[in-house]
Structure 1
Amino acid sequence: MPTFAIAFPVIDPVALQLGPLSVKWYGLAYVVGLLGGWWYARRLVSAEPLWAGRARPRAEELDDMLLFVALGVVLGGRLGFVLFYDLQRYLSRPQDIVAIWQGGMSFHGGLIGAATGLWLFARRRGYPALSVFDLAAAVVPIGLFLGRIANFINAELWGRPAPDVPWAMEFPNGGPLPRHPSQLYEAFAEGILLFLLLSLLVRAGGLKRPGLVAGVFGMGYAVARIVCEFFREPDPQLGFLFGASVDALSGGVTMGMLLSLPLFVAGLWLVLRARRAKA
């Protein structure tokens, strides 16, 4: 039995109550993440030396780009969750597909939706799609960080049992065993580390090679997600796709791991393509 576990800091999932209207931390994370990305993207597109004359959206056009991304994230994230994580439930209750307030979003689905929205925006405005993808990829870790923090506040997507880890926590719905705070691991790896990596790449001239920043993002996120999945409890309706170990460091392939593999391959292809192109 564990001798010590950190008590979970219970935080009200409602961040702000305005009469009958309640604003939850998860929804607030989406809004702040999108606005934070919009602000950072404005700074990037305004820095001419980073682009070396390459075509990219103007700062005043980013409002429209934000709309395309937001719609893609919400629609893609929801449909991705339905298809990848709980298809049988939604086939039996299709009316629940639109019940977003009940929870259930997929990052990989949201990424596909956002990429579709960005492609439509680039096509409509006549910009190179890869440069638009690069711009978006550079700012995505901001939203990832905030989203994982919101997961932690909501006490959801917690980690696997970790009785011997001194920073393990007892989550309200996670049973009596202390668990890895895997949401915080993901906030650090997918948010902070990935943001720093992409920031350094941008400063080193990454935006001058279309597709390079987006490719590194795809590879970096895939690696971070796969590593963090070793500490995260698999979704209860799916469990492990292969293997049955609940050991935090061995066994068991999860849906998050599986979906990250094609993302890594796509990122690698973009990086190799960008390196072959002239800067």
Structure 2
Amino acid sequence: MPKFQNQTISFLTKRFREVGLRPVSKHGQNFLIDMNLLDMIVSSADLGPQDVVLEIGTGTGSLTTRMAAAAGHVITVEIDEHLFTLASEELFEFDNVTMLQFDVLKNKNAFRPEVMETIKEKLAEIPDSRLKLVANLPYNVATPILSNLLRSEITPFSMTVTIQKEVAERIIAVPSTKDYGALSIWMQSQCRCEIVRIMGPGVFWPRPKIDSAIIHLQVDDELRGRIPDREFFHHFTRAIFFHRRKFLRSVLMSAFKEQLTKTQVDEVIAENGLQPDARAEQFTPDEVLAMSEMFRLKLQAVG
């Protein structure tokens, strides 16, 4: 078995100096230097030979090598061409790793088509395969990556990632708290969400200015099956939290001003016993889903 790379500060600074590199802040390059935490990520992801792993942010390949030793296949994407070259030297002996060099996102709402095509190809090569996202995610793209993967044509089995602590807290937040919002509802309506570990800045190089967290998101097919139109639900959830402190009636009027009259919005509110002076943050994910369906059906009815 290949020897795992010990991604220490001394190793990183030496390797970066050898090739004339410096971490690029705009790409969210903060390298995890605690090997036990790298092992914890892999352990939490519970990888096996049927798993196709998507890693976003190859870095130097330290997490990639650990995953490749356990998974059926690893697709790893790195935006930085210099890091891509550096990681290629560490990963050349693995025949179950596919390296891609570009921005994983086509835009803030979608993955690049090449990523999804590669995932399809590798899933097709492994019997009873399943997709898992496992990554030390760059901070600047963590939210769109998690959100968009649940909107994509390929449903992940699970997602185990390091992200900003504040984003992790938003994901697991409960109603009527400051962290609760559209992201909480979107993730909890489809996944069982658990923070595995909180991490201080000292376990990364360069040190970020904020705390981080390892979070495990287990996709629940039963939960997802209750959402008839995920795209509508996604837009609805974002719309009602656009002005989170406004009353529900005002928010709904604004969200549907191009599609429904004020009278029609009031009809839905009255027919379904909604409190017009409630606020979106008071509703559970189940209640928001039910509300979303009320309006989706109303829109169908009015044509």
- When the two structures are superposed, what TM-score results if normalisation uses the length of structure 1? 0.32
Q: Which structure ranks higher in relative contact order (CA pairs < 8 Å, sequence separation ≥ 6)?
A: 1
Flag the structure with larger Rg. 2
- When the two structures are superposed, what TM-score results if normalisation uses the length of structure 2? 0.30
More strand by share: 2
